[in-house]
Amino acid sequence: MLSLKPRDLAKLLAQPQESPQDAPVLLDVREPWELTICGIEGSISIPMQQIPRAFAGLDPERPIVCICHHGIRSFQVARYLEHQGFGRVINLEGGVAAWARDVDPAMATY
């Protein structure tokens, strides 16, 4: 499994992708109440506990960046997706807390 620091993810998101298949899916695995506080624009939400029921709706060929508050839950989800055959899974190191600190200081934190 790959991991990216927030600044590296920001650079990746800023780059034009050659095809829609190369554009990363930002998968936020936090709980709904956490999403009311902050989130990375363009993320889709599937709380961690729902991943076993909902991962079939994700494209295993696309890169998937797993996101949570500090990077722990997203790491677990990324490993789970890898075991389910997803080949392009990335964990956001430090989660949205690190994103707010390193990329978007205006983002609310908790």
One-letter amino acid identity for 64? Answer: I
Helix pair angle (95-102, 6-14), 10° resolution: 70
- The residue among 22, 66, 2, 77 whose CA lies nearest residue 40 is 66
Active site residue 38: no
Please identify which of the residues 26, 46, 66, 68 carries the catalytic annotation.
68
Catalytic residue positions, numbered: 68
